[in-house]
Structure 1
Amino acid sequence: RSRQDVLTCTPWGSPIVWEGTFDPEILRQEYGRRNLTIGLTVFAVGRYLEKYLEQFLETAEEHFMVGWRVIYYVFTDRPGAVPRLGLAPGRQLQTRMVENQKRWQDISMMRMHWLSQALDTAICREVQYVFCMDVDQFFVGAFGLEALAESVTLLHSYFYRWTRSYVPYDRNPRSAAFLGPGEGDFYYHAAVFGGLCPRVKNLTESCFQAVLQDKRQGVEARWQEESHLNKYFWQHKPAKILSPEYCWDQAIRRRGDIRVARLVWAEKQYRRLRQAA
């Protein structure tokens, strides 16, 4: 009710988080009674490691869950090249080895498989909540406890004002990501999602199984794992949605409803970075 200019609640009762819709002090009091450790996973494969990872981690130290225990999980094909940063007390960095792929689309889709496997092992014993983020972005504002929930997804900065008839859902009936007329709630950006470890495990495993189903059909979803993520959250409603403040493209002229930016897109150099390493 504190924001009249934006939608702050979904039809199924989940909050949509904007600046001005939460009180950080109340959140600190609530979560201060819990013994929390929060995970943040990021993939830095091929040329993306040199271009983006250091800035992502440095700015995360400044803005992501400041004052709380955090474990960064860096999935990479070159663990030795991961920058070693001075981390705040209670925060640590771990690396996970993954294989590079010939096509960037395969890296994108395999991310769900690698995450699902990792969440089966140590990660879910070490953290209660985990966020999964793209590496080609960086933090510019506080990204804190207001983002925590059982399952969390993000409104895409390009499509949050569009009706579902015009957003880029997968419309191929042969794909497991298919959403037909009248289906879909919002268009979610796969650059940020998270929640309780078991819920994120279920999301990533479900999306990877959908990718495998598409492969058997000889098709590929329109926007790879993002298309499957949108299908998943149509069928399994998220407990919380983050506004585009939490992943904003600065190339878009700032509207009045975007009062702050917390995470922003880095400069994209797809043609150079997506060439086989």
Structure 2
Amino acid sequence: MRIFSKTLSNPRRLLFCLCAGLLLSWFTLKGTGLHANLDLLCQLHRILSTEADLLSQHNSTGTNSHLSHLKDVKLPRILYTKSDVFNPQRTDVLTVTPWLAPIVWHGTFNRHILNTQFHQIDVRVGLTVFAIKKYTRFLNTFIESAEKFFMVGHKVNYYVFTDRVNEIPNFTFAKGRRLVVLEVPAYERWQDVTMRRMEMIRDFSIKRFVKEVDYLACVDVDMVFLDEVGVEILSNVFGALHPGFFEKSRNEFTYERRPQSSAYIPVELGDFYFAGGYFGGVIEEVIKLTNYCHNAMMADKQQNIEALWQDESYLNRYFLSHKPTKILSPEYIWNNYYGSPAVVKTKRFLGIDKIYDEVRF
């Protein structure tokens, strides 16, 4: 009885007895001699004994196992249609680049699955906008629409760069979301503001953002969210296809074509034309991107060169040699000026109609 009690109190010993019993039963049924299989039983006993000894040593010394930091992950039960390799969701558009970066279109992902994955790591997302001078008028619509559609259910920091702190209205935010107002100088020309934002994003990423968020998305403020924009955009470094050029050929792209410029891209090169108003990634990659673009601008300024489309030109040059790991379709930065092509199933982020000469300075 004492031996039986000890066996029950030791799960590994009990497991050995059960395995031994099963093996003996199998030997009997198969007519196999027990003496010919004692080595198998001994090997099983050694494995279980060794594991028990290691566990005992761990408990007695208090030493942490190399697996002790792992936690059980409990996933909610999500029912969804099985993917069919012979029936892709979209066949009317390119969904992956030659360097295997996904291109995110409506119908190519399941947001419920993605949300579950990103909730496991408790992701924190930063969203930067520049509300300089008259552009503060767009902030109210931007923030209110973002609260409805941007990263719903996730932690978000809205980083607002502005020269008019007193004009920033008060907002009510969902739990885990907040507004951070960053006072910066205004420049005389709007072109200087759009170029200098690379420097500002870089500097604040180094000294602040890297401590507060995991990913950063950098967008224009004169926009409104009309549909969900979630964790499907997140990647190491991402950009968005310009709505005016995603259907055009390479030689029609408005790259900087002057060889003297640091943003120069010859006519025989280029993958896509990316919009300057939408890029991002993990903080470390955003620092690399913005630092490259800022330094290239400063090098051109020394030669009295300003790239054709300011920061957008340098962004496209960066993506030529540093391929983005994910590309967002034009759904994510649409403008009604380009109509409603059939491939654009939804307009998630839309430019606000305005008179540029009235708001620019």
Give the TM-score normalised by structure 1.
0.97
Partner of 1:82: 168
Matched, 1:5 2:92: yes
Partner of 1:120: 206
Contact 2:274/2:316 (<8 A) preserved:
yes
Partner of 1:195: 281
Matched, 1:231 2:317: yes
Structure 2 counterpart of 1:239, which letter? T
Partner of 2:265: 179
Matched, 1:24 2:103: no
Instruction: Give the Cα separation in 1 of the matches to 2:334 and 2:267.
Output: 28
Structure 2 counterpart of 1:167, which letter? F
2:342 to 256, 267, 272: 256
1:64 to 143, 150, 159: 150
Instruction: Give the Cα separation in 1 of the matches to 2:351 and 2:120.
Output: 34
Matched, 1:131 2:217: yes
CA shift, 1:253, in A, is 2.0
Contact 2:246/2:330 (<8 A) preserved:
yes
Instruction: Give the Cα separation in 1 of the matches to 2:120 and 2:175.
Output: 19
Matched, 1:214 2:300: yes
Instruction: Give the Cα separation in 1 of the matches to 2:354 and 2:291.
Output: 28
CA offsets per residue over residues 6-53 of structure 1, 9 Å max, x none? 010111110000000001111022112102110000000000112x11
Q: Secondary structure at the match of 2:262?
A: coil
Instruction: Give the Cα separation in 2 of the matches to 1:181 and 1:80.
Output: 47
CA shift, 1:246, in A, is 0.3
Which segments of 5 or more consecutive residues in structure 1 lack a partner in the other structure? none
Instruction: Give the Cα separation in 1 of the matches to 2:196 and 2:321.
Output: 22
Instruction: Give the Cα separation in 1 of the matches to 2:124 and 2:110.
Output: 21
Instruction: Give the Cα separation in 2 of the matches to 1:132 and 1:181.
Output: 28
2:246 to 147, 154, 160: 160
Partner of 1:267: 353
Matched, 1:41 2:128: yes
Structure 1 counterpart of 2:117, which letter? E
Instruction: Give the Cα separation in 1 of the matches to 2:250 and 2:125.
Output: 33
Q: Which has the larger radius of gyration?
A: 2
Structure 1 counterpart of 2:240, which letter? L
Bigger relative contact order, structure 1 or 2, given CA contacts below 8 A and separation 6+? 1
Percent identity of paired positions between Structure 1 and Structure 2: 42
CA offsets per residue over residues 205-231 of structure 1, 9 Å max, x none? 110000000001111000000000000
Contact 2:119/2:154 (<8 A) preserved:
no
Q: Which moved more, 1:266-275 or 1:52-61?
A: 266-275
In the TM superposition, what are the counterparts of 1:92-111 in structure 2 within 5 Å?
A: 92-111=178-197
CA shift, 1:181, in A, is 2.2
CA offsets per residue over residues 100-152 of structure 1, 9 Å max, x none? 11111100100001111000111110000010011111100000011010001
Partner of 1:53: 139
Instruction: Give the Cα separation in 1 of the matches to 2:318 and 2:233.
Output: 19
Contact 2:235/2:281 (<8 A) preserved:
yes
Give the TM-score normalised by structure 2.
0.75
Instruction: Give the Cα separation in 1 of the matches to 2:262 and 2:231.
Output: 33
Instruction: Give the Cα separation in 1 of the matches to 2:339 and 2:312.
Output: 24
Which segments of 5 or more consecutive residues in structure 2 lack a partner in the other structure? 1-87
Instruction: Give the Cα separation in 2 of the matches to 1:161 and 1:40.
Output: 28
Instruction: Give the Cα separation in 1 of the matches to 2:197 and 2:355.
Output: 20
Structure 2 counterpart of 1:9, which letter? V
CA shift, 1:268, in A, is 2.7
- Structure whose residues are more often helix by fraction: 2
Instruction: Give the Cα separation in 1 of the matches to 2:340 and 2:93.
Output: 14
Matched, 1:145 2:266: no
Structure 2 counterpart of 1:73, which letter? Y
Aligned length: 274
Q: Which moved more, 1:265-274 or 1:111-120?
A: 265-274
Instruction: Give the Cα separation in 1 of the matches to 2:272 and 2:353.
Output: 25
Partner of 2:333: 247
Instruction: Give the Cα separation in 2 of the matches to 1:67 and 1:143.
Output: 12
Instruction: Give the Cα separation in 2 of the matches to 1:204 and 1:215.
Output: 16
Instruction: Give the Cα separation in 2 of the matches to 1:198 and 1:268.
Output: 35
* Structure 1 residue ranges (4+ consecutive) displaced by more than 6 angstroms after TM superposition: none
